[in-house]
Amino acid sequence: MSLQLGALPNPRVSLQRPATTHPQDPLSMGGSFFDTTTSTAAFFWIGGNPQQHSWTAALDSALAHAPAGCTLLCWSGTFADELFAGDVRNWTRPGKPALEGWLDQTLAHLAAHGSGHKLGVIAHHTHLLSDVSAQMRLWHARRDQGIATILHPAALIAPSMLRDLNDHLTRTISMVAPRCDLCILEDIAPLPTEGDEESVLARVSWETGLMAVTAHELVHGLLRDHLPPTTPILLSEHPFFC
């Protein structure tokens, strides 16, 4: 943890992986996140692509294992076969009804289960929920329907945004932080590419990426100014949201 983040009063959230999961492996199947100040399970991760039919089984498994009242974390998913490959349909006409239909179905399923779970949908620049504007629309439209807002600044950064990284971080954190239920801090690092291949950003631990060099002080200041002190922070040691 950086010294700057250590100065923030926010409670930290730690991950408890299933016993069958190796500590270095991405957490693809599920697991609980505990508030370190109370040792209570506040969040539960559901891996996979919600836009694939198999994800319903993952949701049912989570409902069978997640403590009552905790927030279920997941991506919004993609039309692509690979989780982070992106697909133009995510951001064009098919995307909005796919997102809204999935939310209607999933929120109704959670309500029928009756365990008090909220749905924390993490936005990612390659997914159906892909930017700050979409997050804000979702907050305005569904904040009373069991949606938890998740701040994950690194997940919204596409390679084309790197030249204006600080501007994007400022907009994301200043708009989402006051309304969020959880702040996830990971970093990004460019992967090697060949020839004319489109650049790709890997998600890495908070202390090891591009923002560690250029933007940690900015992020700390923005969190200090906009994130309520009671909102928990999850620092990623390994990029486990897969």
Mean pLDDT to the nearest integer, 212-234:
94
The answer to whether residue 240 is domain-embedded is no
The answer to whether residue 133 is domain-embedded is yes
Mean pLDDT to the nearest integer, 146-171:
96
Calpha distance 242→229 (Å, rounded) = 28
The answer to whether residue 208 is domain-embedded is yes
What confidence score (pLDDT) does residue 99 get? 98
The answer to whether residue 84 is domain-embedded is yes
What confidence score (pLDDT) does residue 135 get? 98
Q: Give bridge partners of residue 148 from the DSSP assignment.
A: 120
Sign of the dihedral through C-alpha 90, 92, 94, 100: positive
The answer to whether residue 116 is domain-embedded is yes
Per the structure, how many domains does the chain have? Answer: 1
Q: How confident is the model at residue 207 (pLDDT cuts 50, 70, 90)?
A: confident
- Please list, in sequence order, all residues whose beta carbon lies within 8 angstroms of the beta carbon of residue 53, skipping any fewer than 6 positions away: none
pLDDT tens, position by position, 6-61: 889 999 988 765 544 444 444 445 678 877 777 778 999 998 999 999 999 999 99
Antiparallel, parallel or unpaired: β 31-35 and 13-16: antiparallel
Question: Which token pair is 50?
Answer: 């919600």
Structural domain of 229: 3-235
Calpha distance 79→123 (Å, rounded) = 15
Calpha distance 50→60 (Å, rounded) = 12
As a dihedral over the C-alpha atoms of residue 49, residue 169, residue 8, residue 242, rounded to 10 degrees, the angle is 20
Kindly report the CATH number assigned to the domain that includes residue 194: 3.20.20
The answer to whether residue 32 is domain-embedded is yes
What confidence score (pLDDT) does residue 16 get? 65
What confidence score (pLDDT) does residue 193 get? 72
What confidence score (pLDDT) does residue 236 get? 76
Question: Which token pair is 181?
Answer: 């239920």
What confidence score (pLDDT) does residue 196 get? 58
Q: How confident is the model at residue 96 (pLDDT cuts 50, 70, 90)?
A: very high
The 118-122 sheet, strands edge to edge: 13-16, 31-35, 40-45, 71-75, 118-122, 147-151, 182-185, 233-235
The answer to whether residue 241 is domain-embedded is no
The answer to whether residue 172 is domain-embedded is yes
What confidence score (pLDDT) does residue 29 get? 53
Q: How confident is the model at residue 195 (pLDDT cuts 50, 70, 90)?
A: low
pLDDT tens, position by position, 122-144: 999 999 999 999 999 999 999 99
